Structure 1
Amino acid sequence: MFNTKLTPILMLSSFLLTGGMLHAGGSIEGTVIVKTKGLFGKQGAKGDASNVVIFLEELQQPNPNGKEKIVQKGKQFSPRVLPIVSGGVVEFPNEDPFNHNVFSPTPEYKFDLDYYGTGKSKNVRFQKTGAVRIYCNIHSNMVADVLVVPNPYFAKTGKDGKFKISNIPAGKYTFVAWQPSGASEKRGIAIVDGKTININFEVEESVFSIKHKNKYGRAYDKEY
């Protein structure tokens, strides 16, 4: 009598013997070049190409279980740029021996965690996609950006500007190279199962910055 329990194995063997292959999507990899524009409009490649986020613009795949962290230490936010899938939570622990007050003036994400001291932490859940600028109400030099992306197909560059995104479902998509202080670049890419596509991006970083206000919309008081 034929053993039906072996049927899936026999089917898989037949599939492989006839040249079939199993794929887990495709990949893209490449390098981002960051250029800065000077006072006279001349551009030059920046040596440090870190903190550029490359992400797939389509495919809504929120992750309410996602958890990330931006640490407050040495009067700085670390990391400076944090990508997170929509629905996730970001913790803001204070590791300095004095108070901080994390807040964001971004209209779609305006929040204020108020003052809290060393060893304490507060969090924010980020539901909507987009860029969120974050400051400390006490120390004006503390700046961070959270980029809320729609799915897990993203990467953040290091200093060399290199990136790789794997296991992307086959299809035609728009990929975005985003960085916090300049224009983004978008590229249409067709992803093929089992294939890696090499593609490079070039983004422009502004050398000009506008001094921001505190959470009350006023200039910062004397800092300590």
Structure 2
Amino acid sequence: MGSRALKPLLLVLLLAAPLAGAAEPGRVEGVVEISVIGPDGKPQPKADRSGVVVYLTGYTEEPPAEVARMSQRDKTFFPSVLPIVAGQKVEFENKDVVLHNVFSRSVARKFDAGKNRPGEKYVETFKKTGIIDVYCDIHEQMVATLVVVPNRAFAVTDKDGRFVLRGVPPGRHPIFAVHRRDEKSDISRAEVVVEAGRASTATLRLVETRVDDSHLDKRGKKYGPRPDYSGKAP
């Protein structure tokens, strides 16, 4: 074979080498078990195990360009639990018929959207990882949670506590489960080994301890009657 014929062949091999060496991502499948304290003071399994955020750490990824959304309707946040990647933007839109004032006094991220009328939006960027409790300064019953994670390997459990994390690079990774119904922000932690192109399994366990969602307003004071957009007390 002449040198002219070898050059195209060598070029193809050189281009293919990085692709052959790149490890195919794997995935993590599993379940979160939640216990609640029964009337007899003993733990018992909880039937509905939805709303738990499961995520991996150990590596970082760029946030998606997509803006995450948490709206307000019927004096409720939708969704009530929202995982995002550090650096991602979140849009808070008032889809209600009353005034709202979204805020957080969490150590991980403090912000105050101010009073927003129906149809108005507020956008905030969350650059650091952490758990952020979100409230409304007008309606005390409105509570939600943002979980800011370092990469895109996250999921929210279904009613049976099941989850799937996709696109995970091979290796040993810490895996966490966070549930906003846990008063002390106890986080379940384990480790999982992910192999290229394969599914790994994990089981995490939490104990639900929070009995209510009482909290202070954005000034650190107790809530009192205050008018909303309808002119009536909330």
Instruction: Report the TM-score, using the length of structure 2 for normalisation.
Output: 0.85
One-letter identity of the residue aligned with 1:184: I
Residue matched to 1:168: 168
Give the 3 Å change call, closer, same or farther, for CA 111–203 of structure 1 in structure 2: same
CA distance in 1, matches of 2:58, 2:22: 24
**Equivalences for residues 1-224 of structure 1 within 5 A:** 1-2=4-5, 4-7=7-10, 24-38=24-38, 40-63=40-63, 65-182=65-182, 183-209=186-212, 211-222=214-225, 223-224=233-234
Q: CA deviation at 1:38?
A: 3.4
Which 10-residue stretch deviates more, 94-103 or 58-67? 58-67
Which 10-residue stretch deviates more, 66-75 or 194-203? 194-203
Q: Percent identity?
A: 33
Cα shift readout 1:47-93 (whole Å, capped 9, x = no counterpart)? 11111111112112242734200010010000010000000011000
RMSD of aligned Cα (Å):
2.3
Residue matched to 2:228: none
Give the 3 Å change call, closer, same or farther, for CA 220–78 of structure 1 in structure 2: same
Give the 3 Å change call, closer, same or farther, for CA 210–145 of structure 1 in structure 2: closer
Task: Work out whether residues 66 and 87 of structure 1, in 8 Å CA contact, stay in contact via their aligned partners in 2.
Answer: no
Task: Work out whether residues 23 and 169 of structure 2, in 8 Å CA contact, stay in contact via their aligned partners in 1.
Answer: no
CA distance in 2, matches of 1:216, 1:102: 13
Can you give the 5+ residue segments of structure 2 that lack an aligned partner in the other structure? Answer: 226-232
Can you give the 5+ residue segments of structure 1 that lack an aligned partner in the other structure? Answer: 14-19
Instruction: Report the TM-score, using the length of structure 1 for normalisation.
Output: 0.88
